[in-house]
Structure 1
Amino acid sequence: MDKLHLDRHISRQFNVELEALRTQLLEMGGLVEQQVTDAVASIESGDTALAEKVIVNEDRVDDFEIELDEQATLVLARRQPAASDLRLVLAVIKAVRDLERIGDEAQKVAKMAIALSGEGANRRGATELRHIGASVLTMMNQGLDAFARFDAEAALRVVEADESVDREYKTAIREMVTYMMEDPREISRVMNVLWALRALERIGDHVRNICEHVVYLVRGLDIRHISLDEAEAKILNQ
């Protein structure tokens, strides 16, 4: 496991500010993870009350984004951090944006759950939603854990998992299109399933982004535009 040291500055207050940024980011991550959990559960069960809860709680995610942006900006202005400290502040700023967008996508899933609840008992697409939802939730949990522990290798495993989600998503899209061709009466319902699947796939992409920020934070490596094999080789050989 990789470690950064947030307690080795002459200014004790600087230590406190950096740790506060990290702590609040993880609090925001916990809230967003719950949003995704509830959204996935609502679309699987048809629980419209749970879906409504996700929609209402999106305001709390937005509040976290504003507060963390303000705190990170103040740290940059007051401390002018360098090296790993600067990478930490930048990683927080970027991760906050991804978390806010994950919250937006969870809200979309919740809205599709409400729409689907009024379209009868047809469960076409339920298996695809369940599988991709479970995969994305696992990514979310592991990605936040990688950030909490500053673990670049764990972050890379989440990046790899996103490629699996992308493949599963493409397969699901083909199946949904086939359903619509077989029975045009299902077009409206299947379109809602497609929107929910797309939102889940986008959540996976944003979790991947967060894990790429972790790798940069811990190792100083930008792995956004290289293959997984190249990224793994660089991390393991560093």
Structure 2
Amino acid sequence: MKMNQDSHSTHISQKFNQELEEIRSQLLEMGGMVEQQVKDAVQSLLDGDSQLASEVRAKDHQVNQLQLNIDEYCTQILARRQPAASDLRLVLAVIRATADLERIGDEASKVARATLKLAEEGASPCGYIEVRHLGNHVRQMVQDALNAFARFDSKQALAVLREDENVDLEYRSATRALITFMMEDPRSISQVMSIMWVLRSLERVGDHASNIAEYVIYLVEGQDVRYSEIEQIEAAIAQRGRSLQPNN
């Protein structure tokens, strides 16, 4: 069964409908908090704002607690309702997605930690343009993945997966440029290495956004696409769409 926004609101039990909507709402709330963490972490680095970096790190505890709360709620639903089909996929997708959101928060915290380190050592002589570009790119991926989850939109989720390939290219290009800079100016190695670790964390944010997009496709299409190539996923979605069309 292909899932859409109305699929989980057709149960006899209104309470069950509310429970499913609640876990989805909690996931999106957590996602909004994590997305802001990424934005603030990058901004703290670009501005050299140690106070903002400290706030990003402090929010990590809230994100962790949200994950625990959502996991507990999902566990209760599984135990009480024993959901099947699309309802079960929704609960499982929420559990998986919250784990990736928590890891995105961890990566944002690492960026904030690098900001504090650079504040002590002195700002890096390069790499800030790359951080800004990559940071904006992966934050948009997180936002798009969450929007896809909110709308049960497998096409938007697929677009997020495509963007991950562009992020990987951008990351590798930035890394090569920074390595070249360090070779030309060995005195900059410590600061530039911090920027490289920031870029690595941002690239990982993109990976986790892609994971969430894969869960959306699993939720909507009923097919686990982890470890699949983009072309395979596109073909599977297209084939499923054709099979669901009424015969002429």
**TM-score between the two structures when normalised by the length of structure 2:** 0.93
Q: Per-residue deviation at 1:144?
A: 0.7
Q: Per-residue deviation at 1:162?
A: 0.8
AA paired with 1:151? Answer: D
Alignment of 1:1-238 (within 5 A): 3-4=4-5, 5-238=7-240
AA paired with 1:3? Answer: N
Query: What SS does the corresponding residue of 2:8 show, helix, strand or coil?
Result: coil
Which sections of structure 1, spanning at least 5 residues, go unmatched? none
Task: Output one character per residue of 1:162-217: Cα deviation in whole Å (capped at 9) or x when no partner.
Answer: 11101111111111111111111111001100111111011110000000000000
Moved more, 120-129 or 35-44: 120-129
Asked if 1 retains the 8 angstrom alpha-carbon contact of 2:124 and 2:188, the reply is no
Residue of structure 1 in register with 2:246 after alignment: none
AA paired with 1:39? Answer: A
Query: What SS does the corresponding residue of 2:83 show, helix, strand or coil?
Result: coil
AA paired with 1:32? Answer: V
Sequence identity (%) = 54
Counterparts of 2:122 and 2:114, CA distance in 1: 14
Runs ≥4 in structure 1, deviation > 6 angstroms?
Answer: none
Query: What SS does the corresponding residue of 1:6 show, helix, strand or coil?
Result: helix
Shift of the 21–157 alpha-carbon distance from structure 1 to 2, 3 Å rule, reads same
Q: Per-residue deviation at 1:128?
A: 1.1
Q: Per-residue deviation at 1:237?
A: 2.5
Query: What SS does the corresponding residue of 1:118 show, helix, strand or coil?
Result: helix
Q: Per-residue deviation at 1:220?
A: 0.9
Counterparts of 1:122 and 1:144, CA distance in 2: 33
Counterparts of 1:152 and 1:105, CA distance in 2: 26
**TM-score between the two structures when normalised by the length of structure 1:** 0.96
Task: Output one character per residue of 1:88-126: Cα deviation in whole Å (capped at 9) or x when no partner.
Answer: 000000001000000000000011112223333544011
Counterparts of 1:122 and 1:20, CA distance in 2: 44
Task: Output one character per residue of 1:21-78: Cα deviation in whole Å (capped at 9) or x when no partner.
Answer: 0010100111111111101111111111111110111110011011001000000011
Which sections of structure 2, spanning at least 5 residues, go unmatched? 241-248
